[in-house]
C-alpha cells in the first residue's frame, strides 16, 4: 500500500511516555500529540524547524496534556481534543466528535471515539498515511487500564481499531511493550508470532530504541487483548493483567 507524506516520530517524555511529532512533508506542517513535558517537545519542534501548527490531545490525563498551554503559548497554535471532555482538557480550539476530521497541512485525520481507559478518549486516524494515534487505548501487546470506562466499552473500542487495515502504524502513548510482552507470553506462551514480537522488543530496547510504532497486523497476531474472543474473555484478561 502506498502511503502519503505524514511521518510520526516518538518523543520520549516523563518516565515512559511518548509524545508524537507529526510532520506533513507535502506542506511542512508540524503537529504534536499529547504534550505532557515542555522541554523535550520544544527541543524536537526546534530541531524540526521551529514551527508548530497543531496540538492533538487523546485524553485528559496529566501525563498527556500537562504542557499543552506552555506549548500553545510558545508557538501560538490551535489545540484539538474531544468535545466530550472539553470541560477537563486544556482550552480547545477544535472540539471534536466521532467521525469528524481535522487537517494538519495536507494530511487529514478522522476522529475515532475509543472510551474505556477514559470516558472521553479519542484516537486520530490518518488513513491516507497509515497512521493511528491511539493514546492509551491500544498498546503494543497490551491495552489501557479501565480507569473510567467498562470492559464492554474498551472491548468495543479495540474491535473498532482492529478493523483498520493491517498496515496501520500504531502510535500509542507509553513504552510499555516489555512488560506487556511478559504478560502476553504468560497467557499465550505457544504463540509463535508473539514469541517473535517479544524477541524484537527485547532487541530494540537493548539497543536503546523505541518499540513503536507497531504494525496492526503484528498486533492482531500477538496482542492477547486484540485476540480476545468476546467481551467476557477480554474482561478476564484485563483483570489478570491488573493483578500480574
**What positions carry a catalytic annotation?**
59, 61, 63-64, 117, 136, 174
Residues found in the chain: 244
Alpha-carbon Rg for the chain, nearest whole angstrom, is 17
Residue pair 8/18 in contact by the 8 Å Cβ criterion: no
* Cα–Cα dist 23/204, whole Å: 24
Amino acid at each position: 500500500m502506498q502511503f502519503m507524506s505524514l511521518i510520526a516520530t516518538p518523543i520520549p517524555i516523563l518516565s515512559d511516555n511518548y509524545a508524537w511529532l507529526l510532520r506533513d512533508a507535502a506542506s511542512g506542517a508540524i503537529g504534536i500529540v499529547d504534550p505532557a513535558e515542555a522541554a523535550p517537545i520544544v527541543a524536537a519542534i526546534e530541531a524540526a524547524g521551529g514551527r508548530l501548527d497543531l496540538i492533538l490531545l487523546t485524553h485528559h490525563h496529566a501525563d498527556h496534556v500537562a504542557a499543552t498551554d506552555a506549548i500553545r503559548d510558545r508557538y501560538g497554535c490551535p489545540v484539538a481534543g474531544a468535545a466530550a471532555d472539553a470541560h477537563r482538557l486544556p482550552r480547545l480550539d477544535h472540539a471534536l466528535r466521532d467521525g469528524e476530521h481535522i487537517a494538519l497541512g495536507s494530511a487529514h485525520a478522522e476522529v475515532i471515539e475509543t472510551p474505556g481507559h477514559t470516558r472521553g478518549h479519542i484516537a486520530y486516524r490518518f488513513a491516507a498515511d497509515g497512521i493511528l494515534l491511539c493514546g492509551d487505548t491500544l498498546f503494543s501487546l497490551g491495552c489501557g487500564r479501565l480507569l473510567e470506562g467498562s470492559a464492554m466499552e474498551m472491548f468495543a473500542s479495540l474491535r473498532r481499531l482492529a478493523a483498520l487495515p493491517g498496515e496501520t502504524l500504531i502510535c500509542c502513548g507509553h513504552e510499555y511493550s516489555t512488560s506487556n510482552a511478559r504478560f502476553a507470553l504468560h497467557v499465550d506462551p505457544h504463540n509463535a508470532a508473539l514469541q517473535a514480537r517479544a524477541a524484537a522488543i527485547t532487541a530494540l530496547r537493548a539497543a536503546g530504541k523505541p518499540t513503536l510504532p507497531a504494525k496492526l497486523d503484528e498486533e492482531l497476531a500477538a496482542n492477547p487483548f486484540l485476540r480476545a474472543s468476546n467481551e467476557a474473555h477480554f474482561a478476564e484478561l484485563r483483570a489478570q493483567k491488573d493483578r500480574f
